Structure 1
Amino acid sequence: MDAPRAIGLTPNERTAKSYDPQNLQAALEGLHQDGLLVLKNVVDVAHIDKLREAMSAETKTILNERAGLFNQGVNSNILQCPPLANGECLFDDVYFNPYVIQIANAYLGSKPIWAFTTGNNALTGTAGMRQPVHKDITFHHPTAPFYFIANIVLSDFSIDNGATEFWLGSHAHTTSADQVPCTEETRVRKQVVGIDPSCNVKPEVVEQRRMIRPPIQASCRKGDIMIRDLRTWHAGMPNTSDQDRIMVAIGYQAPWYQAYTQKLFLPLKHASFFGKHGNQPVEVRANYLADEELGQMWKNYDFTFEPSVPVDRTLIAKL
């Protein structure tokens, strides 16, 4: 059965908080070949439970305040940020996981940039609701690794509770030409209608890929982290269980990639935690908010990964 590469920890690696060369190679091979990777048992489960407790308590409030603002327009899934202002929920193995950052340095380039965080909640009791196959990209993206997302799962993921559908290998065999062009209804920011892409992959391209390598739903356990190359096709799936399925998302950008405006919004009162970087080789690109400004934390939902340098659309038209 097809599945992403899963990397387990040896006792020596756990002590050193670093993968040995053999496991690092396996991780890089998995990302380059599949666009998805599972790191096994790299987060303290007690930390996971604390995050889940806090985020579950916020879900109803978010649904009331953001009625109708569902992820990808499907009423089964919402964006939900981790509790960044709650000092009791700030853990190095979540926000500065050494194994994730080691892989980011190897896959994206030395000292990658953390400039994005959010979360994803597949709501309970949403049988029959799924997202279209898409990429989280609404611009003409590079065809080399330039960004990846580390998803910290807050429960075991299974088909029953809406484990995400992934199209393994799609990241290495896709360009923005494979995406449905944006329309007046789907355009964002300064997109050009009919030329720039929407998130969704063209149905005919999806069916062509299905004949080569059909999709899978990646299962994993609480304490695992899934790493996804941003270019990898995926889709949120129905959650038929009686519990919400939540994961935290942390995005790492290649240091060479020319995106300068995307920044985290973090609480100033915890700047010392984020400023220490967990003693890891990573840059934190953020705006810090005073207590009276914490209402602006919603800006973490308003993210874009697009480059700051304008794209030459005359070249894109030749794709």
Structure 2
Amino acid sequence: MPSATAPFDFQEPTVVQLSDEERTTGQMTIENIGIAVSAMHRDGLVVLENAVDTSHMDAINTILVKDAEEMAKMNSTHFNGNSVDGRPTGNMSQGPPLDPELLYEDIWANVPASAVLSAVLGPKPHVNYVNGNTALGGFGDARQRVHADLFFNHAQFPFAVVANYYLVDVSPANGSTELWLGSHHDTSFRDHRNCHPGGRADTPPEEIGKDGEVVKGELEFGIRDERLEARRKFAPPMQPTIKKGSVVLRDLRLWHAGLANPATDPRIMLAFVHTPWWYACPARVVLPASCQEKVESWAARSQHPVQYDAHFVPASLDHKKVKFDPNFSSANQGYLSMLPAQLGSGYVDDVSKY
């Protein structure tokens, strides 16, 4: 039996328990880095526990919980529906506050996480996306389709990792994310519902393709049902329990799904997407100029630097109105030339509809 489809004997996320010294100094032991890097390659995900000062998470959570009710009523708020039956899931995009004093380094440029990211992606990874994900209560059993956060042809090696920060303890009781551990191993763009070999994923229904064939457009976002059922037989999904103060590193290729939040309070998770220095992602994080000195200091630090591909603007920014723009594509033509051309490029121009 191929190793990619062998029954798993590990069905829970690997948790690396950091000591208080590792958290405060940022110096992970080489053994813990070894565990974390191995888990990233094997499972596509690792949890670094006790990596963040929980008082920082509490401060941000207090602000965002208050904002969540307001944002849920705003026309500009992006809701991550993507459900099988079209029902609303209560899953909305909600980014962190952008005031300089609230850009905590152990969230925006966490040193233990950066050590693992540098080992997986190479030195000085770039951050191209900052946002968050909130699961509101009161939406019954609605859920997202299983998906990976990709809309385009992509590599079959680690090229993007998201660092997630749950601002509270999470479990199935308040809508932790469904995870398909190890699904990043043998997946490609071919597994995505919006992949159309020989054409783009935004092809309108019944449009004539470039070779004269009729191409049926499929704008649904998610992993194809047959691939899910094949994997479910030997590696079914699970819903983790994760402590506040943790950093969850997830390979962007990993299959997952947002599930309903049975609790009353919103479950809020921040998201920072990292790509290799050579990847040349065109996306930029828009930040106020008042943050520039702090953000650029993280790139200049000698210990595990983090480079933000940022566009700094002179005005203050309302974090409640940050545009949802999950563009994780690459502009590196050499890299793109190595992808399987028969799968098409995918949809990289405007993915906000998803």
TM (norm. structure 1) is: 0.89
Corresponding residue SS for 2:40: helix
Cα contact 1:266–1:297 (8 A) shared by 2: no
Match of 1:256 among 278, 295, 298: 278
Partner residue, 1:77:
91
Residues 1:198 and 1:113: Cα distance change in structure 2 (over 3 Å): farther
Cα distance in 2 between the residues matched to 1:224 and 1:196: 37
Shift of 1:194: 5.9
CA displacement 1:84-126 (0-9 Å, x = unmatched) = 1x23422111111100111111010011101111000000122
C-alpha change, 1:42 and 1:194, in structure 2 (3 Å) is farther
Find the aligned partners of 1:31 and 1:179 in 2 and give their Cα distance.
Answer: 22
Equivalent residue, structure 1, for 2:329: 306
1:169 equivalent in structure 2: 182
For residue 282 of structure 1, report the CA deviation from its aligned partner.
1.7
**One of 286, 307, 310 as aligned partner of 1:286:** 310
Residue 316 of structure 1: aligned partner: 341
Q: Which amino acid aligns with 2:263?
A: S
User: Are 2:296 and 1:275 aligned?
Assistant: yes
Q: What SS does structure 2 have at the residue aligned with 1:172?
A: coil
The separation in 1 between residues aligned to 2:288 and 2:330, in whole angstroms, is 26
Matches of 1:34 and 1:207, distance apart in 2: 19
Correspondences of 1:123-202 after superposition (within 5 Å)? 123-181=136-194, 187=202, 199-202=221-224
Aligned CA distance change for structure 1 residues 165 and 187 (closer, same or farther; 3 Å)? same
Q: 1:60 deviation in Å?
A: 2.1
How far is 1:168 from its partner?
0.2
| Residues 238-247 or 268-277, more deviating | 268-277
Tell me the residue number matched to 1:7. Answer: 16
Structure 1, residues 55-99: CA drift from partner, whole Å, max 9, x if none?
112112222223783114443200001001x23422111111100
**C-alpha contact 1:109 1:254 (8 A) present in aligned 2:** yes
Which protein shows a greater Rg?
A: 2
Following superposition, the deviation at residue 160 of structure 1 comes to 1.2
Cα distance change, pair 194–271 in 1 and its aligned pair in 2 (3 A): farther
Query: Tell me, what secondary structure is at the counterpart of 2:248?
Result: strand
Aligned twin of 1:208 = 230
**In the superposition, relative to structure 1, how do residues 96 and 312 fare at CA in structure 2: closer, same or farther (>3 Å)?**
closer
Counterpart Cα distance in 1 of 2:72 and 2:25: 42
Aligned partners of 1:176 and 1:197 also within 8 Å: no
Q: Does the 8 Å CA contact 2:57/2:245 hold for their aligned counterparts?
A: yes
Change (3 A) 1:163 1:29: same
Q: CA deviation at 1:313?
A: 11
Match of 1:103 in 2: 116
Q: In structure 2, list runs of 5 or more residues that go unmatched.
A: 1-9, 83-87, 204-208, 210-214, 345-354
Residue 198 of structure 1 and its aligned partner are, at CA, apart by 5.8
CA RMSD in angstroms, aligned pairs only: 2.8
Asked if 1:238 is matched to 2:247, the reply is no
Residue of structure 2 aligned with 1:62, choices 71, 80, 95: 71
Deviation at 1:286, TM superposition (A): 0.5
The Cα shift of 1:301 comes to 1.3
Q: Gaps (5+ residues) in structure 1?
A: none
- State the Cα distance separating 1:274 from its structure 2 match: 1.1
Checking the alignment, whether the CA contact within 8 Å between 1:28 and 1:103 is kept in structure 2 is: yes
Normalized per residue, the structure richer in helix is: 1
C-alpha displacement of 1:290? 1.5
> When the two structures are superposed, what TM-score results if normalisation uses the length of structure 2?
0.81
Encode CA deviations 1:246-299: one digit per residue, 9 max, x unaligned: 01111111122242x11101111121221211734121110012216x369845
Match of 1:34 in 2: 43
Contact 1:166 1:215 in 2 (8 A): yes
* Pair 295,93 (structure 1): closer, same or farther in 2 beyond 3 Å: closer
Q: CA contact under 8 A between 1:265 and 1:300: conserved in structure 2?
A: no
Instruction: Indicate if the aligned counterparts of 2:137 and 2:261 stay in contact, CA closer than 8 A.
Output: yes
Q: Compute the displacement of 1:305 (Å).
A: 0.5
Residue 223 of structure 1 is matched in structure 2 by 245
- Structure 1 residues 106, 194: CA separation in 2 closer, same or farther (over 3 Å shift)? farther
1:107 alignment partner AA: V
For residues 216 and 338 of structure 2, the distance between their equivalents in structure 1, rounded to whole angstroms, comes to 12
